[in-house]
Amino acid sequence: MKQFLKMTLATICGIVVLGLVMTLFFTISLVGMLASDSASTKVKENSVFVIKLNGSINERAEAGTPFDDLLGLGGEGSMGLDDLVTSIRKAKDEENIKGIYIEGGEASFDSPATTQQLRDALKDFKKSGKWIVSYADDYYQSSYYVATVADKIYLNGEGSIDLRGLGGKGEYYKGLYDKLGIKYMVAKVGKYKSYVESNTQTGMSEYDREQREVLYKGIWNHMLKEMAEGRKIKAANLDQLVNDSLLAFAATEDYVKAKLVDKIMFPEEIKDEIKQRLKLDKDDDIEQLTLADMLNVKSKKKEKGDKIAIYYAYGSIVDNEAMNMLDGGGHCIVGKTTAEDLRKLAEDDDVKAVVFRVNSGGGSAVASEYIRHAIKLVKAKKPVVVSMGGAAASGGYWISSPANYIIAEPTTITGSIGIFGLIPNFSGLVTDKLGVTFDGVKTNKFADYDTELVVGKNNEEIMAKLQNNINRGYQNFLNVVAEGRGMKPEQVNEIAQGRVWLATDAIKIKLVDKLGSLDDAVKKAAELAKLDEYHTAAYPGEVSWLDNLLSKDNKGSYLDAELRELLGDAYLPLMQIRNDIKNNSRIQARMLEDIRMK
């Protein structure tokens, strides 16, 4: 009885504590929303916008929590490119902001194109005649690339510049799977479709090596050109320096001699440098604005004219949220949800044109087709212009192809027109090594085909039928692109085969209409819709932190984090197997692994 009373009391206490915590969450959230609605940041005279290049920088930032500002995390940890670009434009127009201070750090960008777009926004800021100064204890490659737009670059006396070029080695798990008795079975079309290779080979295929070398070289040459222009040196000399030197281990004075930085400074000295630019006394404080502050600054530009919708579609393309959680989480493009959003935009008479902002390496072919069909419905009523971000490849290109016009960043990765099916077979592990056998009855020959694929030994006929399905899917992909781009399927096939293309090459083969920014896409949409005055609105709306917290799809994310720590290097291959077995779509339209930049 005593034990029962203890357990009952503990349960009651737990419920009360949970209730108090949830009440606190709701109260803080409500206060935060009221405060943000009723007040905006007032920019003081002689202010500086401070951009700290730390954490991850993606297409859009996920919603923060009401505790972020209290903990000093507002605007840091995870930043959205859209927020950064918007804030830089506000700083350009705000007369009380005299310059931008960039503090370099270990920022991780979701793609080279995201890094390039941030740098382009800063370059545009300088047209106002205002200054940009950059400082870092250590410059990583992406943060240094961004910093080269600055008027002056400074470095800590014990700092380094980790400028090394692009490349790296990927993991190939076939050797591990052979020891475990696991075999990945593949049905695909496209000799360049390399997504499956990490599970089926011990090294890179020559086709994948070919496309990656062209891709990396194109991106690196673009970065070299811009860095060299920013530092007023020759691109060939900079390339030679990076090739011959391990710059991360160079002496700081060598950076100055090579004109990579202007001066070696310590933190207190950089403060004096900023104060001099602001014409402040040494005892004066510097009025600083963070990203969170800038987002709350009212824009100088008034909304007027007709509405152009910018719909952001970024992340893996999936059939449902559960699949995305099994694939590691993060933002995703859910086929039916996105298609429904697009249909609403098609029916919205206030929206005169749609800019479809795509940053995706693909995913489910079924979900991609849902979205492509919805884009066609929108296009039947109003112009659709695609703005490609870091990637619009494979499924990402599938959903882009019907648009009236396609604009890509110079370093956008696109193409990868090809599909595959990837299925793990465990018969070598379960039957040969562990001695588990299977038997049963069925009314029809293929009643248990899914089980046979995963644990059976005689699945050649099933795989042949899957390959036929993949072949039809590939032909459909060719037809889809041909229809959207005004080409013949045979012409598309010549540039398809799963090959990825840099946008600077894709424009030559008619996969892209123009190289340009999101702004260029908006201008093109306005032109096609014959609008003289217009403003933009972003879709879909942000999901609140509370919705994220309570979402059923977030269940298991803590366990995944624990498993990642416990399993170490084995986490990725094991999660890949789990994903492929449980919830992955049979037919995938994915490009090679995403290219992040540090």
CA–CA distance from 14 to each of 7, 9, 19, 330, 452 (Å)? 10, 9, 8, 31, 47
Helices assigned H by DSSP within 157-203: 174-180, 197-200
Task: Give residue 256's identity as a one-letter amino acid code.
Answer: V
Torsion sign, CA atoms 570, 572, 577, 578: positive
d(CA 409, CA 128): 23
d(CA 266, CA 288): 19
The Cα angle at residue 305 between residues 300 and 308, in degrees rounded to 5: 95
| Annotation says 38 is catalytic | no
d(CA 122, CA 145): 12
Distance of CA 595 to the CA centre of its chain: 9
Give the CA dihedral 321, 325, 326, 332, nearest 10 degrees.
Answer: 60
Distance of CA 409 to the CA centre of its chain: 14
Residue 202 gets the label, from left (phi > 0), alpha (psi -120 to 50) or beta, of: alpha
Helices assigned H by DSSP within 39-80: 67-70
d(CA 457, CA 451): 11
Distance of CA 260 to the CA centre of its chain: 29
Query: Exactly one of 387, 394, 517, 585 is catalytic; which is it?
Result: 394
DSSP for 237-277 reads HHHHHHHH--GGGS-HHHHHHTTS-SEE--HHHHHHHHHHH
d(CA 410, CA 388): 10
Do the Cβ atoms of 557 and 72 come closer than 8 Å? no
Report the length, in residues, of the chain.
598
387, two tokens: 């703005």
Residue 365 gets the label, from left (phi > 0), alpha (psi -120 to 50) or beta, of: alpha
Q: Which residue in 371, 375, 355 sits closest to 529, CA to CA?
A: 355
Residue 585 gets the label, from left (phi > 0), alpha (psi -120 to 50) or beta, of: beta
Cβ count within 10 A of residue 410: 19
273, two tokens: 């440098």
3-state secondary structure of 386: strand
Distance of CA 290 to the CA centre of its chain: 23
Query: Exactly one of 130, 193, 379, 382 is catalytic; which is it?
Result: 193
Q: Which residue in 272, 355, 266, 365 sits closest to 313, CA to CA?
A: 355
| Annotation says 193 is catalytic | yes
Do the Cβ atoms of 217 and 211 come closer than 8 Å? no
Residues belonging to the active site? 193, 394
